[in-house]
Structure 1
């Protein structure tokens, strides 16, 4: 039972609310009349009381606003300090331990901490001390300095880039291999001579090394600059390479016994006094029957300004020479015959207009791309781009190559990397030798589809076979942009199936060329598209008149090694009294595909 006093109070409150309601309603209708909205409101009132609806809407708005306001969380208080943990490591994942780290705070205070065995440091930062700058100089790594805005407690992992190896007091390993990639001396002792030269100071070059196997270790001391090795091995064509990396593989090409080799000696001299120019960079270019000249070999002149290119096939060649402080020089084309030794002289004029290739490779985020392969080209007097040099970008993505004064010749670049789409830069701007601002080449990362092919690039497979349709292993395959007169994209060696796969190519036309010994052949020009592997068939044919014989098993068509082949000249009986096998005997013994460009010879006699 409700007490009388409470009932009276409730009745009084109810009457008060009722009076307020009716007072508001009167004011509402007064406003409606003043605004001449009577007809509209009367129409609404016949369905539902309009004032009650307006009052309910106002109540909901006010109540919703109050709920939203009081439901918002209050801002957390600013902490007195944040905890920060920094972990330093190299690109190989090794912790950078026991190294001093300098921390400079925004309030101009500085603290130095030493990294622990796991490469980490831990410290606190007050809000007023942000931002901070972290600096670390560790032996073997590039200096690190970075500013951080600290707004919360966190852990940060920092990877330092390794410093480029200097050529002073370091070791290099050379792996000398045959065409199949087998180290020389693995099966039988080899005869290898390694001759070294330095670009800065020829006198600091390491002594010659002789070896009976394919592993050669060498150290360079003093102001060497760029260390170059020239490998001379018995029964193989010599080869020269710059030792960029700790380990360099050099694959040699065997000298065909039927081809008599020749050599070209080049003497590079100063125009002013006719004195030899030491440490000049000389390059030998071969002129094929079709296409532009191709870089055959390179080297550095000795103290007298001389270098010898040996083990050369008959053909046309020319040589270029350059050195800082001189204009680029080029010899006329020279025909080299079998077994011929030719002496050439090239005079360079002094020049202060030195140029260089200076390139930086990076991805779309601006991160440097190390170990990219850079093919640098310069146009010759026939306006053909020829490969000037090949090198790798360093840990900062930088490639630099001095070319001297090239008389305003045009230049271009082809940049390749296993994880990025090949970039063709034509034209590429050369800079003055003193410039430090590089030409930036931005490379797109390769994205692979479900079929394993890149979606933003294409592949090209050079399939090399001989004239009887057998695959040719260890042939040298080259791919050119546009056609054989275009830029050289890459040079590969065919596998046991006669294939050489060129990856990550931008869309466009290409042409391939393959050689082996005195055999050569070209593909047709074909277009490569994204997400596609285009086949480039190449048939090798002999460059000289002769007979090519391939003996195969009649049942399996497998090639037969060590078959004895005898050729009989037409009209002349063989000196041997052995009976010549009949056609039926030859078919029963071997099946023999044969190509002959010498009609004066009868069919060969083959025995096993």
Structure 2
């Protein structure tokens, strides 16, 4: 049988296969242009030739037939491992030959003896390597060590809060360090976009990031291994700060100085009288100022500059009062109807809308101020049983006396206001501070002391003069404002303020001294005032959860039979965040009361401090062990540094 007959026989078989596969329609279209079987044979031949080339040439077995002596080219990396699939270009005389290394990092070349060749090897991720040599009669082996080509790697850092939202609009600073001390770390980056990009230096080793943002815990020692790294920042607890005020004159501490703490916008936060020249006030973080008034009028009143109180830190103020007064002002406060002295009336001196001095009248209805400032003032007297009264006065150098006559409160001359504070679920909010503002001037309505809502969320005001007002409520992080309301006399005026407070989640983990989970431990959640908010029990993993409104400070009492009761410190709750509380229960204690020093900490909830620095304030933390059977309401101890 000749080639022609074989071709036709194969073609017949081809069409039989096409019919069985029902591909006649497709093949007919091809046959109109070119015989389909012939096309199939050409494609098959090309595939076979390509496979042969790949096996013998693509794998580096050689670029030509074994003609001449062998040159074995071996590529290794710096650790001695073969470099596979590297491209090798060899110049032999005026010709170029192309090879590819196999799995062993080898490519073979055959050339005539005594031929000069030039080799150039390359692969992505490695530096190019070259070598020139003359091949001898016996052939040769060429070993080339490929060095890794170091390139700067770009890294993306994504910044999230614990609730999963991107930290956009929040200023975050990221600093960097390299594990290789010889490498220069990238410069710090500050971003408000919720992400940052950085280039890793070539010789950095491990690139480490530190992420810092106000009101968030610092994230440290974050290794940027991948192209994209997600960093989750946890919000700091809203710790209170402490204002420590020392009042002195002539290098001696002063008693009986009224210290009033105001927020920057003039809301009275708290007031106390000095003992041994000192007052300490716990406040929420913010900006404040102090007005110090000597109630004995021996020294001039003084107002501090505005200062900032930071969470968990103590702000110290030393205020010196001067003895030489420029103005001496004595104020008599009397009942307008019978002329009797009014005791315990708050008298204030205001200049350009800012409080300069204030103090309370004595049993004779008198109060005296020593001042170091001159000019126009508003003199105001406030008492719970009277309408407040004010007058404008001008004080120059010298002594003055003024009389303030207050009108007794009656249904005919004053309005009563009941302000109800509710949360977003229309539930009453207790302990919210409520302030009244004059709607025409935006000035704070004078009150003798701060007013707070009761258990029903209500604040009762009396003696409010007829006029238009709006009311503002504050609690923790929340602030709400009422609509403007005209206060009418001889009736009870009702106002409602809504605060958006949000919820806080508490996750408790209870374990024993061997770090084993305690199942069935009872946990009482109590407010700062000791009011029980709820009870929960730990599961088999020693865990329990509780959710409440984020407008309070809480502490926990944890008990389990066979263990001593554990009481935590106070925790501030923050909206839409999770507070993780770890508690370790000890077996029932016998013997004497024991106090264990735990160390110094940055703030009430801050990290433990290994090294103290001058000028900083730290909190000493102790654990007190009370044996079973000890009956006591309070336990105290003395610690000396």
**TM bracket (short chain):** 0.3 to 0.5
Greater CA radius of gyration, 1 or 2? 2
Tell me the TM-score normalized by structure 1. Answer: 0.40
Tell me the TM-score normalized by structure 2. Answer: 0.39
Give the structure with the larger helix fraction. Answer: 1
